[in-house]
């Protein structure tokens, strides 16, 4: 058993502020913390279910539940017969409306953006259709390369009605953080995914060979009152991202 992991779990059991009555949630948090702190690195194996249960005096059902939750979040991956690992590829669950920054932080990575554009302009006819905006209204536009540390992962072009984000310079690293501060965090979204070969320009920005596989994602996110808060087109690197959806039969 990784001693830092056991220590973190025990710390959470003692720490009154973090006290979480449900052991599986406590364990899930402890594992997420050590992954975020990079005590356990991507690709490294975690202790077995039995090992966790014995060292921490938990039932195997509790351990299984904690691990399953983190697999669903994309923090861990499980391979039959080989155990549980910290995910190497970035696994993005499609059922949760999270931001790039949140996804990366949950994996202990350091999200960064480099902007090509961050300003106010007039909505284009295509955007006004997609966002239900009247022709001519002002929109904030962000065009950026998204990095984990120094590694480029995606290119994103976002459009937000200027009435919701009048000053795009408020967006430092995270669009969702800026929207949240203004009380406009997206609540629901529609997303469309397409496989595309990356253009020469995108491939160069993403440090991959031209024509490499990319995922083109279009997200339209809404507020509770039905207003569209963002229309974002992203090109994710196909070699590092998995988009995973959970399906139910009815
Ligand atoms: C994700 C979203 C994108 C959103 C961005 C906000 C997908 C496919 N796209 O990249 O629509 O604008 O997160 O991230 O998940 P930020 O808050 O870090 O700027």
- Residue 139, domain member (yes or no): yes
Other C-beta atoms closer than 10 Å to the C-beta of 184 total 21
Nearest to 204 by CA among 232, 233, 235, 174: 235
Same domain, 20 and 82: yes
E strands of the chain, at which residues?
Answer: 76-79, 83-86, 90-93, 111-122, 138-148, 151-161, 188-197, 213-222, 228-237, 241-244
Residue 104 has pLDDT above 60, yes or no: yes
Which residue, of 34, 58, 86, is where some domain finishes?
86
How many domains, in total, are found in the chain? 2
Ligand 1: which residues within 6 Å by Cβ? 99-101, 156, 158, 174-177, 217, 219, 230, 232, 234
User: How far apart (Å, rounded) are the C-alpha atoms in residues 101 and 206?
Assistant: 17
Structural domain ending residue among the three candidates 38, 69, 86? 86
Out of 14-18, 80-84, 125-129, 208-212, which region has the weakest mean confidence (pLDDT)?
14-18
Task: Please tell me the residue having the least CA distance from ligand 1 atom 12.
Answer: 232
CA of 193 to the centre of ligand 1 (A): 14
pLDDT of residue 3: 83
Q: Domain containing 64 — which CATH number?
A: 1.10.10.10
Residue 17 Cα to ligand 1 midpoint, Å, equals: 31
Q: Are residues 153 and 55 in the same domain?
A: no
Pocket test for ligand 1, best of 118, 232, 240 (most atoms within 8 A of CB): 232
CATH number of the domain to which 136 belongs: 3.40.1410.10
The range of the structural domain enclosing residue 116 comes to: 90-244
Please indicate, yes or no, whether residues 78 and 159 belong to a single structural domain of this protein: no
* Distances from the Cα of 239 to the Cα of 28, 84, 182, angstroms: 28, 21, 35
| Percent of the chain residues past pLDDT 70, beyond the cut | 98
249 within a domain of the structure (yes/no): no
The structure tokens listed for 199 are 């253009």
Q: Are residues 81 and 94 in the same domain?
A: no
CA distance 145 to 114: 5
By alpha-carbon position, which residue is closest to atom 6 of ligand 1? Answer: 99
Backbone Cα Rg of the chain: 20
Q: Are residues 54 and 116 in the same domain?
A: no
Whether 250 maps to a domain, the answer reads no
Burial class (CB in 10 A: 0-12, 13-18, 19+), 107: buried
Q: Do residues 71 and 111 share a domain? A: no
Residue to probe by mutation, ligand 1, list 114, 182, 234, most atoms within 8 Å of CB: 234
* Mean pLDDT score, 117-140: 96
Across the chain, which distance is largest between two alpha carbons, in Å? 64
Among residues 86, 107, 123, the one where a domain terminates is 86
Tokens describing residue 1: 């058993």
Q: How far is the CA of 133 from the centre of ligand 1 (A)?
A: 21
């Amino acid at each position: 058993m990784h001693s830092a992991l056991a220590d973190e779990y025990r710390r959470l059991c003692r720490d009154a502020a973090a006290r979480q009555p449900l052991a599986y949630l406590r364990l899930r948090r402890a594992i997420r913390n050590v992954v975020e702190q990079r005590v356990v690195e991507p690709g490294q194996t975690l202790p077995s279910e039995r090992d966790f249960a014995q060292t921490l005096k938990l039932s195997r059902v509790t351990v299984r539940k904690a691990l399953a939750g983190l697999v669903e979040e994309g923090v861990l991956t499980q391979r039959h017969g080989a155990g549980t690992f910290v995910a190497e590829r970035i696994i993005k669950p499609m059922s949760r409306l999270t931001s790039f920054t949140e996804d990366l932080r949950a994996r202990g990575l350091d999200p960064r953006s480099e902007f090509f554009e961050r300003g106010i302009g007039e909505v284009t006819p295509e955007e006004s259709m997609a966002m239900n905006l009247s022709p001519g209204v002002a929109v904030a536009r962000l065009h950026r390369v998204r990095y984990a540390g120094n590694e480029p992962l995606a290119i994103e072009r976002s459009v937000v009605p200027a009435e919701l984000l009048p000053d795009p310079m408020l967006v430092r690293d995270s669009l969702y953080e800026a929207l949240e501060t203004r009380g406009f965090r997206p609540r629901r979204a529609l997303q469309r995914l397409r496989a595309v070969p990356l253009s020469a320009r995108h491939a160069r920005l993403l440090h991959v060979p031209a024509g490499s596989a990319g995922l083109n994602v279009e997200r339209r996110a809404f507020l509770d009152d039905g207003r569209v808060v963002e229309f974002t087109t992203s090109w994710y690197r196909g070699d590092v991202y998995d988009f995973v959806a959970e399906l139910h039969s009815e």
